């Protein structure tokens, strides 16, 4: 296994079509749908930066150029804001602009699955450990999920997967891990099963869309056979990698919102709006009235 080194790079697989959000995603990438006033991808990038990530790698597809534009300067907009003395808005735009040279974009020409998307980033990642953040999932907790994962990686030197608990009777819907001995703020992973048959799951800890992986995963994915959905599955590659390397689970204690699904997206908007001092006073009352009026 590669020597334990700092996790400097993060991969964001943003090539998905977002079919669960049609017709909106016919013209707008699902990652650019807004939760309150920021696109979903901004929350995920902020989580990575908070964890010390220095280089952002986006695996994109056709019609996703707007994501690249979002993480760049918009000259006409900024000139207009300066002319109108909109200093607060200019400061906001400057705060979300990545450091020059810290973002890279590569194409996944075909929708062949998450494993294939990760493999497409191999040349940009190189021979070092990297973070992988699914862009649909945004998380809210006292400590950022990826920040806790980086701490566990530095403590254990193992590949790290973030997990949460679900109701045992719901385990068949997720990728589930087996529970071993305690390791830091998590535990050793004894096995990984993608959507186990009802009643056969090794635990109720499900994989929530955050990973730290060693670069040896790339050589495995290069020859990985297609699995579920006729796609190259990352879980299948990780199972093979586990034959030669350790895996640890970071137990994330917070809220995760699947913004690739309508219900998760709506709940995320409500949760993050209620956290905003400038918005909560105007929405809390109407929300309570709506809930009270439910039949």
Q: pLDDT tens digits, residue range 239-250?
A: 999 999 999 999
DSSP 208: E
Burial 137-154 (b: 16+ CB within 10 A, else e): bbbbeeebbbbbbbbbbe
Q: How far is 259 from 137, CA to CA, in rounded Å?
A: 6
pLDDT at 199: 86
What would the mean pLDDT of 194-221 be, rounded to a whole number? 92
pLDDT at 2: 44
pLDDT interval class at 12 (50, 70, 90): very high
Q: Is 13 helix (H, G, I), strand (E, B) or coil?
A: strand
- If pLDDT is split at 50, 70 and 90, which confidence band does 27 have? confident
Number of Cβ within a 10 Å radius of residue 24: 12
pLDDT at 3 over 60: no
Asked if residue 174 has pLDDT above 50, the reply is yes
**249 neighbors 189 (Cβ within 8 angstroms):** yes
Let me know: does 55 contact 100? Beta carbons within 8 Å. no
Return the pLDDT at 211: 97
- Residue 227: predicted pLDDT: 67
80-118 pLDDT, tens digit each: 999 999 999 999 999 999 998 899 999 998 888 899 999
How confident is the model over 276-281, as a mean pLDDT?
Answer: 94
Q: What is the pLDDT of residue 165?
A: 92
**Res. 295 pLDDT band, cuts 50 70 90:** confident
DSSP characters for 100-125?
A: TT-EEEEE--S---HHHHHHTTHHHH
Our CA angle for 45, 49, 51, nearest 5°, is 120
Q: Is 19's pLDDT higher than 60? A: yes
Mean pLDDT throughout 189-209?
A: 90
Cis peptide before 23 (omega within 30 of 0): yes
Residue 63 pLDDT: 82
Which residue, 130, 136, 103, 132, is CA-closest to 117?
Answer: 132
pLDDT at residue 229 is higher than 90: no
- Say what the pLDDT of residue 1 is: 43
Residues 164-184 have a mean pLDDT of 91
Percent of the chain exceeding pLDDT 90 equals: 76
Predicted TM-score of the model (pTM): 0.92
């Amino acid at each position: 296994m590669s020597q334990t080194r700092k996790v400097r790079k993060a991969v964001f697989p943003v090539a998905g079509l977002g079919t669960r959000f049609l017709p909106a995603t016919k013209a707008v990438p699902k990652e650019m749908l807004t939760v309150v006033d920021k696109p979903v991808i901004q929350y995920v990038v902020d989580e990575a930066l908070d964890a010390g990530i220095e280089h952002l790698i986006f695996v994109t597809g056709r019609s996703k150029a707007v994501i690249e534009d979002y993480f760049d300067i918009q000259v006409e907009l900024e000139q207009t804001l300066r002319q109108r003395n909109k200093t607060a808005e200019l400061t906001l735009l400057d705060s979300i602009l990545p450091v020059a040279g810290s973002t890279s974009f590569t194409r996944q020409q075909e929708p062949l699955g998450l494993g294939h998307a990760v493999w497409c980033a191999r040349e940009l990642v190189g021979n070092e450990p990297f973070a992988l953040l699914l862009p649909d999932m945004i998380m809210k907790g006292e400590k950022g999920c990826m920040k806790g994962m980086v701490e566990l990686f530095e403590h254990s030197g193992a590949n790290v997967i973030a997990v949460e608990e679900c109701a045992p009777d719901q385990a068949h819907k997720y990728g589930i891990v087996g529970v071993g001995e305690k390791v830091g703020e998590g535990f050793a992973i004894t096995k990984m099963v993608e959507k186990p048959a009802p009643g056969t799951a090794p635990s109720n800890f499900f994989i929530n869309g955050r990973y730290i992986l060693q670069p040896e995963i790339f050589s495995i994915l290069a020859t990985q056979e297609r699995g579920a959905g006729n796609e190259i599955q990352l879980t299948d590659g990780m199972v093979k990698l586990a034959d030669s390397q350790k895996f640890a689970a970071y137990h994330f204690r917070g809220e995760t919102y699947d913004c690739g699904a309508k219900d998760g997206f709506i709940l995320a908007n409500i949760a993050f709006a209620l956290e905003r001092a400038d918005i909560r006073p105007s929405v809390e009352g109407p929300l309570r009235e709506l809930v009270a009026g439910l039949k």
